[in-house]
Amino acid sequence: MLKNYLKIAWRSLLRKKGFAFINIGGLAIGMAASVLIMVWIQFEFSVDSQYEKSDRIYSVWRTNINQGESITWNATPTPYATALQEQYPEVEAVTHVTEWDPMVLSVGENSFYEQTTFVDPGFFEMFDFRVLEGNPMEAMSSPDHIILTKSVARKLFGEESALGKSVTVESELEFEVKAIVEDLPENTNFKFTAFLPYNKLEAIGWTGNYWGNNNCRTFAMLKADSDLNSFNQKIVDFSLRNGDVQNTTDFLFPMSELHLKSKFENGKSVGGRIDLIRMFGLVGIVILLIACINFVNLSTAQSEKRAKEVGIRKVSGADRGMLIGQFLAESILISVAAYLLALLLISLLFPGFNQLIGKELKLPFNQPYFWVFSLGYVFLTGILAGIYPAFLLSSFKPVLVLKSRMSSAKSWFKPREVLVVFQFTIVAILIASTWIIREQMQFVQNRDLGLQTENLIFHPMTAPLKKNFSAVRSEVEALPGIVSVSSTFSPFTEEYSNTNTISWQGKEDAFMPNINRMGADAHVVKTAGLQLIAGRDIDVYTNASDSTAVLINETARDFMGFADPLGEIVKDGDREYRVVGVVKDFIIESPFANPEGIMIFGPKIQQNFIHIRLSGADLQTTLAQLGGIFRKFNPGSPFEYKFSDEVHAQKFASQQQTGSLTAIFSGLAILISCLGLFGLAAFIAEQRSKEISVRKVLGASVQGLVLLLSGEFTKLVLIAMLIGVPITWYAMSAWLEGFDYRIGIDWKVFLGTGLIALLIAFLTVSSQAIKAALVNPAKTLKSD
């Protein structure tokens, strides 16, 4: 029976090659898109949930209530981890994890900046990364050991074994390699390439017991019988009891959920990357549905042509169940053919897809689960696409169809029209959403940052550079392509330190605004391209007292409440600083957020970077000259600078990825819809060929006939727009609410979307309408 079903299905496909091509092509594109999305989603859910003890590993988070606003963050002070384990028997292991700038690792002439972290032995007890040599937990117990990843060990030592050999860190600290681990997998948010023991920081005095210095993250692993909710109730006031940190609550958050659900409001997870995953998961389903709708529409459109076939089979003894089986077999055969083509498309497009999402995913073709999934996926798609046509076609009565008395009564409800409306509603939503995302990106990218990132580079200050900074600065400033040089606490692309404990005269104790700390020695206004609106720049070389000077931005000036803040004293801990200037607000963190209060302190605060403003003339020569100077004063360390504008551009990566994915899947939805519309228009033109010929004989013009045939589809597109506009408005308004700096939704977006959708539909249908209108009426009517 099955063999017979497949044979009949195959013959049916061969008879209608054009419609088979449209069905298989549309389904293949829809399947390829949905499988690619599925592979990506599966990867996203695997991030940091692949560890053997994932269900017991947690990240420490804290929520602070300040001026009625809550801020949730995951940075902790050094004593936090030890105190947590000592005070609660439920805690099996803890670890500090630092996330600092890359450090220079050197072996002889080989020197590289590597993403290095300081951790405790508990890190490798929790996170079971593959160990190639040595014992990581033992290695992290001693302050003079280092763990390297496989790729870094090869960079430093070549093909020789690195175990037991010495590595110099930051040109001054010596460590012995005690373990080698495999490069960390793609599905982890840890991007470290070298590991140092946290107790080394304690040994050299880089840490302390001050609970106000949040210099690391803390992870904890609870014992197997521990309940998270009960434990979180116990530690809710942990920071208050141990460090007298006011208005702050503590809680653990599952490591396995951190990647997808790290957006917090009022101390509760309210989403995050999971929202993006859900959105594109829905897009993948919708694209597949659009492809299935093509099959349904084209199959039901041919119902009259297949009606006699159904009638003859029923007269010959076939029951309805057998006919349903035959039509479903045809549908599943198309689904199998489409999936084979989809696999080919996936193989060809996978490198580009990886580049688009910024990951190095692997094709899952060698995984048994994928083929089990594929079997069910193909079968389900075939059933989904074929179930309605199968029941419709098998319901025809032999007496009526064999006497050519198929009912053509008109009904207000036409399934084919409803499905076309659904398709173009989705198309309209995707087009409008892509348009709005693109406008939001352009709006933010054109934002005045308050500083000039072009031709501004920065470089980490290693110990030799700090020691010889006066000579370095003099030689750099002497170069013809240099405008200005400043040493700074942090780059002008990232927030390094913030506090709510800074005070000034007249400040109320209850008022604790969050202030971003920065630092500079001189010429920072000129170097960073800031806009000075009052007072002067910091210049410790001209005014020695400027080591205790401070520049503030407009936001800081406004909440301090001074009409003229120049000369006012601000206190940061036990240090006092005098305000010497006010600069226009500038953005160093999220370009989508409102400006924060910023204070740039004199060089009493530690200087970690050198910023250099280039003139822009003959950049390559200038950079080569800078490289020579840095190698002279910083031997054994690479000259690895960064352009501020390139770093700033990376902050748009996530939203640009969303925009690109939306645009691509919109294009696929349009393509699949057009394929279906093309096939449907071709069939309807063929079905109404005699009517078109009669109208032409009676004087109808080609233009009139084209408008007649296109008009029906135009009406459906307009209905789709009426449905799609409010849905898009609601969804994109909610998306834009996530940005402080955002556009309003312009009605012109929907007008443009409607015109695009109408144009797409008209061009798709008119090609078939013109073809039908140009046929000689005599050829069509000669049989009558």
- Token pair recorded at residue 421: 């409306």
Please give the pLDDT value at position 412: 43
Question: How would residue 115 be classed by pLDDT, with cut points 50, 70 and 90?
Answer: very high
**pLDDT of residue 570 exceeding 80:** yes
Question: How would residue 776 be classed by pLDDT, with cut points 50, 70 and 90?
Answer: low
| DSSP code, position 424 | H
Choice between 42 and 304, residue whose per-residue pLDDT is larger? 42
**pLDDT of residue 378 exceeding 50:** yes
> For the whole model, what pTM was predicted?
0.84
Mean pLDDT of the 748-753 span: 91
Mean pLDDT of the 378-402 span: 69
- Token pair recorded at residue 637: 């360390």
Helix boundaries (H) for 302-414: 303-315, 320-357, 368-394, 398-402
Please give the pLDDT value at position 419: 81
CA–CA distances in Å: residue 138 to residues 124, 127, 147, 340 = 10, 15, 11, 51
Three-class secondary structure of residue 147 per DSSP: strand
**pLDDT of residue 137 exceeding 50:** yes
Question: How would residue 211 be classed by pLDDT, with cut points 50, 70 and 90?
Answer: confident
Highest mean pLDDT: which range of 292-296, 442-446, 684-688 = 442-446
Q: Are strands 532-535 and 575-583 parallel, antiparallel or unpaired?
A: antiparallel
Average pLDDT, rounded, for the chain: 85
Inter-residue contact 181 to 52 (CB < 8 Å): no
Show Cβ contacts of residue 519 under 8 Å, excluding neighbours closer than 6 positions.
488, 489, 490, 600, 601, 602, 603, 604, 605, 606, 607
Inter-residue contact 439 to 750 (CB < 8 Å): no
Residue holding tokens 């990843």? 149
CA distance 347 to 125: 38
Question: How would residue 411 be classed by pLDDT, with cut points 50, 70 and 90?
Answer: very low
pLDDT tens-digit readout, 700-740: 776 777 777 777 788 888 999 999 999 999 999 988 988 88
Task: Give helix then strand counts, H and E, for the chain.
Answer: 27, 28
In residues, how long is the chain? 784
Helix boundaries (H) for 588-652: 619-633, 644-649
- Token pair recorded at residue 500: 């709510």
Q: Are strands 569-572 and 575-583 parallel, antiparallel or unpaired?
A: antiparallel
Please give the pLDDT value at position 18: 65
CA distance 784 to 778: 10
**pLDDT of residue 398 exceeding 70:** no
Question: How would residue 319 be classed by pLDDT, with cut points 50, 70 and 90?
Answer: low
pLDDT tens-digit readout, 468-501: 999 999 999 999 999 999 999 999 998 888 887 8
**pLDDT of residue 14 exceeding 70:** no
**What percent of the chain stands above pLDDT 90?**
45
Task: Give helix 368-394 / helix 320-357 axis angle, nearest 10°.
Answer: 140
Closest alpha carbon to 179 in 199, 201, 196: 196
Q: How many CA atoms lie within 13 A of 67 on its CB side?
A: 8
CA distance 315 to 319: 9
Mean pLDDT of the 514-529 span: 92
Closest alpha carbon to 114 in 17, 192, 212: 192
Highest mean pLDDT: which range of 299-303, 372-376, 670-674, 773-777 = 372-376
Where is average pLDDT lowest: 124-138, 375-389, 577-591? 375-389
CA distance 172 to 206: 14
In the beta sheet, which residues pair with residue 134?
A: 179
Inter-residue contact 108 to 637 (CB < 8 Å): no
Q: What angle do CA 67, 73, 79 make, to 5 degrees?
A: 110
Please give the pLDDT value at position 409: 46
